[in-house]
Amino acid sequence: MTTLTIQTPDDWHLHLRDGDMLVETVAATARCFHRAIVMPNLVPPVINAEALLGYQQRILAARPEGSHFEPLMTLFLTNQTSAEDITAAKAAGAVAAKMYPAGATTNSAAAVSQLEALYPVFEVMQEQGMLLLVHGEVTDHHIDIFDREKEFIDQKMVHIVKRFPNLKVVFEHITTSDAAQFVLDASDNVAATITPQHLLLNRNDLLVGGVRPHNFCLPVLKRNTHQQALRNVVKTGSPKFFLGTDSAPHAKEAKENACGCAGCYSAWSAIELYAHVFEELDALDKLEGFASHFGADFYGLQRNSGTLTLVREDWTIPSEIILPDGKPIVPFFAGETVHWKVQGSI
């Protein structure tokens, strides 16, 4: 096979950041994705309808000329989020609300510290048809960082889906066999996104031979048995799993220091990276569902009408990209050879 044409894909988990960085991140995403679920963990976070609409306008203003890229907006949940905040955000066009445990990842200090206190909010979301997006990790200091996802399932996730059976829940960027099995066993109202880094790498790629800061993300990479479980589940073509890059850019200087930021900037070559994985799995026929169908179906949105063509061509992801402010950023899989390329891309 030398070409592969799929229905235009979407990214169901994306960090665009804000300010000058939007010029880079919006263009990188619009290159191959028509829509993207935009994460709300800015500084300050997107906690109400007014902030949501303002951020949406900044994203739209950053689109390349002629682009029809559509940002799908989300609300940042805190323990102060009210029913009125949910209804107002829904009326403003929000499709989902994001639940971060406080301190779980970048810019999450203002997030949820008492999850059960949000149950009344989840009830309103269930009534409003607003999806709940979950960063599924506990943050207790005594819990090993490699066990935090499984502990969240046992302590929190099972109770959420049982108590709110009609609430659609996306278990985002899953990293373990435990999470994959939980989603498979759950009702059709539970699905998950999977990132390119968790399909391509395991914790050896983070730690062996020295710490590799550009492979550091949260949730952290797990052992190779968990990586293989994720690869196996996408190979099945189950509609419960779909594309979400969790692309999260940071300047090179913010990654390469004594307390480097978590996040992999994969948007720049995202669809090519997924094609690379699916070819390794001998499952290129499953890529279209994963990238273009299952996410839209779960969100209750129409599938895209256009197509995107990839060509079988080896190319090397550059070692650096220069941001609008002149600072370099290291893209995910920098310096590595990828076997597929979007037709017409540079």
Residues 22 and 332: their CA atoms lie apart, in Å, by 18
Please say if 325 is a catalytic residue: no
Euclidean distance between CA atoms 293 and 330, whole angstroms? 30
**What percent of the chain is modeled with pLDDT above 90?**
91
pLDDT at 113 over 80: no
pLDDT at position 245: 98
Instruction: Give me the pLDDT at residue 324, please.
Output: 82
pLDDT of residue 112: 75
Instruction: Check residue 346 and give its pLDDT.
Output: 46
Q: What pLDDT is recorded for position 101? A: 85
Q: Give the residue ranges of the annotated binding site.
A: 13, 15-17, 41, 98, 135, 173, 218, 246, 250, 262
Domain ranges of the chain: 8-308
Among 246, 282, 285, 297, the active-site one is 246
pTM: 0.96
pLDDT tens digits, 137-170: 998 899 999 999 999 999 999 999 999 999 999 9
Residue 106 confidence (pLDDT) = 67
pLDDT band for 282, please (50, 70, 90 cuts).
very high
String of b and e for 324-340 (b: at least 16 CB within 10 Å)? eeebebbbbbbeeebeb
At 125-138, the pLDDT tens digits run: 999 999 999 999 99
Give the DSSP letter string of 142-187: TS-GGGHHHHHIIIIIHHHHHH-TTS-EEETT--SHHHHHHHHHS-
CATH of domain 8-308: 3.20.20.140
Relative orientation angle of helices 177-185 and 224-235, to the nearest 10 degrees: 30
Known binding positions for substrate: 15-17, 41, 135, 218, 250, 262
